[in-house]
Amino acid sequence: MSGCRVIRVGVLGCSDIARRKFIPALLKSSQACCAALASRQPLKAASCVPPALSITPMTYQELVCSPGVDLVYVSLPNHLHEEWSIRALEQGKHVICEKPLGLSAASVTRMLDVADSHGRLLFENLMYLQHPQHTMVKALIDSGRIGKVLSLQSEFAFPGPLDGDFRLDLRQGGGAFHDMNRYPLSAARYFLTGKQHRFCQGTQVVREGLVLSLQAESCTESGETFSFLTAFGLTYRSFYRISAERGCIAVERAYTTPADMENRIAVTIDGRDESFSVPPSDHFLNTVDFVCGLIRSGDWQREHQRARDVAELAGIFYDNCREIKG
């Protein structure tokens, strides 16, 4: 692929996140453009097409086969991620797939094996990590100023979803754990030194097979403790807290920081308040441009390994947590 040509993106699925966040980011990007859109609901597809674009909605298969598309953004219900990501990869497309990449570690391995065999990028859309606030937190940890990290605690929960949402449908890969686990688990992989996790304890509240909440704890080979909660039906929360020998770091709205929000990073070191603010940043736009850079460089194996690691970690918690009927 030419190093200067704008990367043509096909949007597969007119989800809420595609309509509100991803497509607007494409329109702002200088690295990519929205070249195609597909949906099984024509009226919904028409409502997703920005007025500035002249796009006729396609079928899923037409989009993944289109010679006018370089990169496919898969924003479908969870149970369709594996099928349509693989179809796109087999047609020579790069893929950004919404979270979770697959519903099991085995599914993610199959998807990444296809990506590797076709020499294409498969990127799990952990867009929050492209917000500069997390790079700043990581730099503070790496500087040694807060000492050795001892624990990471994270929670991600919200009151919904509403009746009829696919996230409440077990057949479509719904449930709070599938919907939210990639946020705290990828944070653990990003911030903690230890990569091997030993399950300590955990419970999941389940109703008719659907996980409504999951709370668990693990320890790494480096002596760090990781604990997290993902849940439907609670008050909104989206944060992580890192505790270390000499201080702590806390980030609110960590996973859903609005593009126009200046976020405050709470930092305490040796009893002193060393909090700081991070200017507004659009992590969706940052992700689009980051992925375009990966495609142009061909250097994406680190992303593939991250996806494998996070999927394996998800399997540890999903398979071992004690079940409570909700």
Residues identified as active-site: 99
Going 205 to 242 to 190 to 18, the CA torsion angle's sign is positive
H helical segments located in 118-264? 132-142, 176-180, 182-191
Find the helix or strand (DSSP H, E) in which 23 lies.
helix 23-28
Q: Decide the pairing of beta strands 94-97 and 7-12.
A: unpaired
Structure tokens at 36: 């195609």
CA separation for the pair 9, 12 (Å, rounded):
10
Rounded CA separation 178/101 (Å): 10
Q: What's the 3-state SS for 42-97?
A: HHHHHHHCCCCCCCCCECHHHHHHCCCCCEEEECCCHHHHHHHHHHHHHCCCEEEE
* Half-sphere exposure of residue 251: CA atoms within 13 angstroms, side-chain side: 27
